[in-house]
Amino acid sequence: MRKIHALFIFSVLSLSFIACSSGDESPKALLNLVLVDAPPAYDSVFIEIEGVDVLMNVEGRDTEQESFFIPYELGDKRIKVSDLVGGEVLLLGRGTLPPGQIIGMEMRLGTSHSLWKDEKSYPIPLKSGLDPLISIDAELSLEAGLSYDLILDIDLEKSIQTISTEPYSFELDPNVETVYPGQFGELKGSISQTSLSPAIYAISNGDSTSTHTNSSGSFLFRLPAGIYDIYLDPKDEAFLADTLLGVEIINRESLTLDRISFRPKP
């Protein structure tokens, strides 16, 4: 199941524009890395990201694999990923790359990750023994003169594990997947109870992807075409969970659900 944390967008650019921006005369493709998120019910989550290594088979070259680093340019690498919901995205990086085939990516993490819960900050160390270079499955052909926007989806509902609750302790095992240009449809919705921080799951063929609402109660999925059951967990014992069955997602189309209200428990 593809997730919704990084977005790549395609647009046509002139070869002369790309050559000027990259500083040489060889044709290039422009790759934009956009970050979005599906956070759990914490007040906020910060992940330190240094950038992404793009692994390629370059057209016309004999080497089997080459790596190109696309850095996150801001000085403060700690990204508040919990804000990246309801259609909000972050341009994680942009780089001009030679024509060829992307065969994978690796996200370089820093060491400073944390979450806020009930007005208290907690560190989220990487899972013991985990490499801070996180492998991401990706396969995309790049042609000279085109711009590509690729979505990198960090599903925090799956990535953050609660180790204990008294006291709270957590660990980070990043779950990052890709959403490809032109290969998804959008599902939009909103929750009436804006004071809640529910988790919303899109489930298909036994797999799921999750997202969260923003401050106005809105949420958004970018999903491959298919039939999904939407499970809504209020994460509040005063309300009942809800399920919407058989929601159809069509590539390149957007579907908006009727506004949803959680029913109070009897």
pLDDT tens-digit series, residues 21-73: 345 667 788 877 766 554 455 788 999 999 999 999 998 877 678 999 999 98
Look at residues 151, 181, 211 and tell me which one is the last residue of a structural domain. 181
- Among 243, 256, 98, 89, smallest CA distance to 179 is for 89
254, amino acid identity = S
Look at residues 154, 181, 208 and tell me which one is the last residue of a structural domain. 181
Instruction: Give Cα 11 distance to the centre of its chain.
Output: 21
Per-residue pLDDT, 34: 67
pLDDT tens-digit series, residues 70-92: 999 888 999 998 888 888 888 89
% of the chain with per-residue pLDDT over 70: 87
Q: In the predicted model, is pLDDT for residue 1 greater than 60?
A: no
Number of domains in the chain: 2
User: Which structural domain range is residue 158 located in?
Assistant: 1-181
| Pair (187, 250) in one structural domain | yes
* 3-class state of residue 52 by DSSP: strand
Global confidence as pTM: 0.78
Cβ atoms of 88 and 118 closer than 8 Å: no
* Max CA distance (Å), the chain: 69
| Rounded-to-integer distance, Cα 117 and Cα 23, Å | 46
- Among 203, 214, 194, 207, smallest CA distance to 249 is for 203
210's tokens:
């999750």
| Rounded-to-integer distance, Cα 261 and Cα 255, Å | 18
Whole-Å CA distances, 249 to 56, 213, 258: 31, 20, 15
Q: Average per-residue pLDDT in the chain?
A: 84
Look at residues 136, 152, 181 and tell me which one is the last residue of a structural domain. 181
153's tokens:
């989806």
| Pair (216, 145) in one structural domain | no
| Pair (176, 69) in one structural domain | yes
